[in-house]
A and B are shown apart, each in its own frame.
Chain A
């Protein structure tokens, strides 16, 4: 089924010469992406290795599992999903990537991408040749610690999901994580539209699809959230935090 989908080749934006250059210093994502804490001079050097992609349509792949690792990508707009296919042929969702988040770091150790990455929405990314980034990081301590921060955040996210949590806790934490990520991007922390389907959410949270809907329906009945199609409005943030924290005290 995948063969019918067009693949957005990560090399596309390497071929686009640096005229399509990005000014990280003026990017709306501000410091969400890598160049946090860089000096203006360092930022400028960083900008020279960044390439902007053409729009990527929903259903297009950014990376495929097994692809040779050359670049990482930072989401400019839209939303991506990373997933693997398990030995039974089932799709297992590993994560969702919102603007300002870095995709592709899973490939560092084996030099091949481990996960497939597909756009869920019309999206755009900035590509960074990894050799160059890591080379630069050696001379820019701020960039290096930023890279560590991004990787560490990702590891802790996956460890949380792997933990022994109830369905309610998983969903509450998922909503809070999205709320936090959206609000850091200047969007509402209480009201957002999810690009991913409930099936994707279920796969990511290791829950049955119907459990996601059942728990959300229960949260809705309790007045914690209001759900309309793919839109979520958080009505009682405190209660959501209480539910999410139950297992962590």
Chain B
């Protein structure tokens, strides 16, 4: 179903609570260190033993950056010492071998994503041998429907490098732009020429990339409604297939880099609301469809089609069209999802490297999902991806009576219904166009783990 979105300032203000983004459920906060490599192996074995094992999706984390972007909340390492990066790649290759042994080789890799950090910190030869290493230990799909994507920092990549990335096998790229205003760029320490960046969209198309995505951020220091309007207009003119417009969450007590940002330069909550409204208005006016959370796509993009046809799913990069994959996380801090578990690698480079050097899987923590977790994940994913929950489908999959099982949640939803976030029916509920900007506030009602973790504000706010 094509979904509408409507901006309602009063409602957004009322429901502006800190909450998870539900790229997984349970969220990473719930992962436990008792979940070790042995536990993970049990899940990988079981996943091979399924009658029709799922295809694989690989996420490869490449944490290195040449310089620090002050807004960054990712796991990264800023260094000019390239031997550090080379050593990391060597050990990453070891992990690829260790992980590759765990999966049967008739399981094709249909999705691959290089994220960072800055994957293009590494040169073409390094990236090429990394993909070759993956090909040695996993069966990379040769089908053109495969989705092999890489996050590209336009400051490190010219036209020639793009051609190399295509030759290595990537068919999707996502370009980090954030903002094109020189003052904003200076305030976040990320200076790049907008014209060169946007020329890359056309160049990517010419080189045969199937999909080009651009990342922007609103709420950055010195942004104004006028400046951000220019950013959006300029970016939209290049017509990327997808746009991710993230809300900058200023959490300097968690992300050290953000202490470089002068708090007084950050737009006020009022301005941030206007920036959000502007983003929605402009992008929808330019024909982009609001997928949910931070994501927009053209009407003929696979993401939009998948949402229309009910086949969308949430993943760590946002949304994905691939429902039935086991996800293998490779590299420091990477998260995988195999069968009914999530597993995360060690999050600092030295301990990751020493684990792998000793031939151990570098699992740090994870979680085994209970049936209740799977049930709630299914409800939350339905809210986040499709803006609706059909009771019958959940009941059939989990052998429950929705009204009985979720009596408490349904009574709590009366307030959301009164406020116009959802419309409740006998056989399910739908998120309203106003509610679509508050998906996580709705999803949070079904999060059983939230009560226990709510005391510490580890999550960013909706706005």
Task: Write the residues of chain A forming the contact surface with B, with a CB cutoff of 8 angstroms.
Answer: 194, 197-199, 201, 209-210, 212-213, 216-217, 220, 227, 229-230, 232
Partner of B50, one of A210, A220, A229: A229
Task: Write the residues of chain B forming the contact surface with A, with a CB cutoff of 8 angstroms.
Answer: 48-53, 104, 106
Nearest-CB residue, chain B, relative to A200: B49
B201 to chain A, nearest CB (A): 37
Q: List 20 A-B contacts (CB under 8 A).
A: A194-B51, A197-B49, A198-B48, A198-B49, A199-B48, A199-B49, A210-B104, A213-B52, A213-B53, A213-B106, A216-B51, A216-B52, A220-B52, A227-B51, A227-B52, A229-B50, A230-B49, A230-B50, A230-B51, A232-B51
Nearest-CB residue, chain A, relative to B53: A213
- CB-based contact A212/B51 at 8 Å: yes
A67 to chain B, nearest CB (A): 27
Interface of A, helix, strand, loop or mixed by DSSP: helix
B392 to chain A, nearest CB (A): 17
Roughly how many angstroms separate A199 CA and B47 CA in the complex, as a whole number? 12
Interface of B, helix, strand, loop or mixed by DSSP: loop
Task: Tell me which residues across on chain B come within 8 A of A213, comparing CB atoms.
Answer: 51-53, 106
Task: Tell me which residues across on chain B come within 8 A of A209, comparing CB atoms.
Answer: 104, 106
Nearest-CB residue, chain A, relative to B49: A197
A170 to chain B, nearest CB (A): 14
Roughly how many angstroms separate A220 CA and B51 CA in the complex, as a whole number? 11
Task: Tell me which residues across on chain A come within 8 A of B48, comparing CB atoms.
Answer: 197-199
Closest 4 CB pairs of A and B: A210-B106, A197-B49, A229-B50, A213-B52
Nearest-CB residue, chain B, relative to A220: B52
Task: Tell me which residues across on chain A come within 8 A of B52, comparing CB atoms.
Answer: 198, 213, 216-217, 220, 227
Q: Could you say which of B48, B50, B51 has the most chain A C-beta atoms within 10 Å of its C-beta?
A: B51
- CB-based contact A229/B106 at 8 Å: no
Roughly how many angstroms separate A79 CA and B50 CA in the complex, as a whole number? 17
Task: Tell me which residues across on chain B come within 8 A of A210, comparing CB atoms.
Answer: 104, 106
Given contacts A198-B52, A201-B51, A216-B51, 16 further A-B contacts (CB under 8 A): A197-B49, A198-B48, A198-B51, A198-B53, A199-B49, A210-B104, A210-B106, A213-B53, A213-B106, A220-B52, A227-B51, A227-B52, A229-B51, A230-B50, A230-B51, A232-B51
B146 to chain A, nearest CB (A): 18
B106 to chain A, nearest CB (A): 3
Nearest-CB residue, chain B, relative to A198: B51
A210 to chain B, nearest CB (A): 3
B145 to chain A, nearest CB (A): 16
